[in-house]
Amino acid sequence: MSSSAMSNLSAADPLLRKDVPDAATKAAELRPRAEAGEAEAQFQLGELYDDPSNGGSPEAVRIALSWYEKAGAQGHVQGANCSGYVLLNGLAGAPDHARAMALLQPIADKGDSWAAQQIAESYERGQGTAVDLPTAVTWYRRAAQAGAGFAMYRLGYNLANGRGVERNAEEAVRWFRAAADKEISAARACLAAHHLHGIGVELDYAAAADWCRKAQETRGGNTWAPFLLGVMSENGLGTPRDMEAAIRFYLASAQARNGHYHAKVRCNILNATGLSHIPRFDADPQWLQAGAENGEIQAMYLLALSLQYGVGLEKNPGEALAWLILAAASQPLPAVSEARDTLRAQLASDQIAQAERLAEERRQKRAGEPPRMF
């Protein structure tokens, strides 16, 4: 490369400072075409500065972003996606979701699955825009239909929970299966839960265990799957009842990176009931309240035990019995039914009557709604 061509780069250019002559030469070749407005040259120039092997400094990423945005503004799909990725993840400074959405919207409108998925996430989380679950579901559906695996999972999740769309467990299962085929571990865990509770599919404990194993085998693993295996071992669902095995599963779930919240609460309860060898975890059981009120079976059960034993909450055996009555009515798991009967035997008749009234009030409030898992 001649010195005149290299003069297309300033002396302060990070590619020159990082002593990557091949990248600097390529950048010097691309720059005139990029400055003349050629979108592909702009994108390729962005890639050079974005490449970690060429230095990967924050300054280089900011330069990369400027070229990605120029390409994206001309409808270059990869340029728009790359600029969106940099902005969403704050790789060139603070995250800027609104700016990312503005760049991604045009190519999402044209059917790009990744861009549509990011638009959906922004509406679901309220990042760069107000929270709008119906709009999020619309975008997740578009992205899922275009083949985005994570969008398939989120669409299934929202359908399973009636978030921004009418609840439809059967359709949720279909999207979870599609996402599972793309090795989305969370979708595989959701399929395990659906088979475990017989919601949207036939009750099938063998299938539940199989999906748990598949979720754990997926790259990155899954913390919900071992928790569900713990529930199955504790209750003897498709396997002999084995509390020691259940504890191993709960610990594996709780101790994992980003350990599962329910597993942490379960371990804390076990510790409080005399199993002092089980460590305690930072998990506030008050978060269970919303899940219990939404009819989540495990949330009701764990909230009840937290209230019964005073784990993170003030002891309230009457309130605990009310939640156990509801949880057992949703699905008569042996551990739940036994906990209900044991606590009932410890309470006075007026306490039992009050708990039954409270459980009936809550049941009536959710009349016609099937139980939930998450």
- Say if CB 297 and CB 331 are below 8 A apart: yes
Where b means 16+ CB within 10 Å and e means fewer, 316-354 reads: ebbbbbbbbbbbbbbbebebbbebbeebbeebeeeebeb
Written as tens digits, the pLDDT of the chain (374 aa) is: 444 444 455 655 666 555 656 777 888 889 899 999 999 999 999 998 888 876 668 888 999 999 999 999 999 999 999 999 999 999 999 999 999 999 999 999 999 999 999 999 999 999 999 999 999 999 999 999 999 999 999 999 999 989 999 999 999 999 999 999 999 999 999 999 999 999 999 999 999 999 999 999 988 889 999 999 999 999 999 999 999 999 999 999 999 999 999 999 999 999 999 999 999 999 998 889 999 998 889 999 999 999 999 999 999 999 999 999 999 998 889 999 999 999 999 999 999 999 999 999 999 998 777 666 66
Residue 371 lies in a domain: no
Residue 14 lies in a domain: yes
Give the alpha-carbon dihedral of 262, 266, 268, 269, to 10 degrees: 140
Residue 60 lies in a domain: yes
Residue 29 lies in a domain: yes
Which range of residues forms the domain containing residue 27? Answer: 1-95
pLDDT at 3: 45
pLDDT at 221: 84
Residues whose CB is less than 8 angstroms from the CB of residue 185 and which lie 6 or more positions away in sequence, other chains included: 215, 216, 218, 219, 220, 221, 222, 225
Where b means 16+ CB within 10 Å and e means fewer, 205-217 reads: bebbbbbbebbbe
- Say if CB 268 and CB 283 are below 8 A apart: yes
pLDDT at 146: 96
d(CA 258, CA 252): 11
Residue 58 lies in a domain: yes
Angle subtended by helix axes 334-346 and 224-235, to nearest 10: 60
Give how many domains the chain has, as a whole number: 1
d(CA 89, CA 95): 6
User: Could you give the C-alpha distances from 312 to 207, 273, 284, in angstroms and in order?
Assistant: 35, 13, 6
User: Could you give the C-alpha distances from 182 to 19, 148, 179, in angstroms and in order?
Assistant: 41, 9, 5
Residue 91 lies in a domain: yes
Residues whose CB is less than 8 angstroms from the CB of residue 259 and which lie 6 or more positions away in sequence, other chains included: 223, 253, 281
Sign of the CA dihedral 244, 247, 252, 253? positive
Output the pTM of the full model: 0.85
Q: How far is CA 318 from the centre of its chain?
A: 34
User: Could you give the C-alpha distances from 118 to 8, 124, 248, 372, in angstroms and in order?
Assistant: 35, 10, 37, 27
Residue 18 lies in a domain: yes
For residue 372, report the phi and psi dihedrals to the nearest 5 degrees. -115, 165
d(CA 310, CA 34): 66
d(CA 126, CA 288): 23
Residue 55 lies in a domain: yes
Beta bridge partners of 296: 372
pLDDT at 2: 44
pLDDT at 53: 77
